[in-house]
Amino acid sequence: MEIGDALSAIQLKIAEAKKDGGILAGDGQLIAVSKTRPVEDVEAALEAGQRLFGENRVQEAEAKFPGLRPRYPDLKLHLIGPLQSNKAKEAVALFDVIETIDRPKIAAAIAKEMAAQGRQPGLFVQVNTGEEPQKAGVLPGELGEFLTLCCKTHGLTISGLMCIPPVDEAPAPHFEFLRQLAEKYKLPKLSMGMSADYETAVQMGADYVRVGTAIFGARG
């Protein structure tokens, strides 16, 4: 399927999911995840009207996006992959939202760079809802303490939560858990749902869904 056609089809499904979800449904803004894709694919999506993109590596995003900004000033870019503190400077300079704050060291590095650059990207905390040892994200039981550290120690405003459920489990309970955590800590935004489950995520409150394969095809 052409990128533009895939985008329209997904937007229709998101609109339906919002209706189905009723009062529980989220905004369902579509983040086109363009990691590993050539800049030509990003341009095709831009020409089709897509403006919100996600990348999981700082360096890859730096190679693709700055050149597009002058032509598409309303383009928005989210960092959805793990961040190393030695890349905090580049991340703060380039991204509009950083969804993967998950360690004290990262919170400190981001705060320092925001002050140095006078830039205020939106910030989400990634939660490891499945408590998987290999996965990034704050453990649910440590979220309260981490949010306090971000806010009180570093003066950061965290506006949402993000999760990647375990691949071998039904995602819905994880989406519901993330929604409850966001409610508990009074965080307005939720980033959850990917190609296989974005409709469920929207029904359950996702304000942002991160979709790659369903837009651009299988990654090589």
**Nearest-approach distance from CB 164 to ligand PLP, in angstroms:** 5
Residue 183 CA: distances (Å) to CA of 28, 39, 61, 114 = 17, 37, 32, 27
Residue range at the interface with ligand PLP (CB under 6 A); choices 37-45, 71-79, 110-118, 206-214: 206-214
- The residue among 149 and 172 lying less far from ligand PLP, judged by its C-beta, is 172
213 binds ligand PLP, rule: CB under 6 A = yes
CA-CA distance, 197 to 209, in Å (whole number)? 9
Rounded CA gap, 123 and 208, in Å? 13
Q: Is 81 in the site for ligand PLP (CB under 6 A)?
A: yes
Distance CA 56, CA 59 (A): 9
Stretch that binds ligand PLP, among 4-12, 19-27, 60-68, 212-220 (CB under 6 A): 212-220
**94 in Cβ contact with 69 (< 8 Å):** no
Residue 178: partners with Cβ closer than 8 Å, 6 or more residues away: 127, 129, 161, 163, 190, 192
What binding mask, one character per residue, do residues 30-59 give for ligand PLP by CB under 6 A, x or -?
A: ---x-x--------------------x---
Under the criterion CB under 6 A, does residue 194 sit at the interface with ligand PLP? Answer: yes
Least distance (Å) between residue 78 CB and ligand PLP: 9
Cβ proximity to ligand PLP: between 57 and 112 the closer is 57
- Under rule CB under 6 A, residue 178 binds ligand PLP: no
Nearest distance from C-beta of residue 159 to ligand PLP, angstroms:
18
- Pick one of 94, 164, 187, 204: the residue that binds ligand PLP (CB under 6 A): 164
Residue 159 interacting with ligand PLP (CB under 6 A): no
Phi, psi of 198 (to 5 degrees): -65, -30
- Does position 28 interact with ligand PLP (CB under 6 A)? The reply is no
**What residue is closest to ligand PLP based on CB?**
212
Binding site for ligand PLP (CB under 6 A): 33, 35, 56, 80-81, 164, 194-195, 210-214
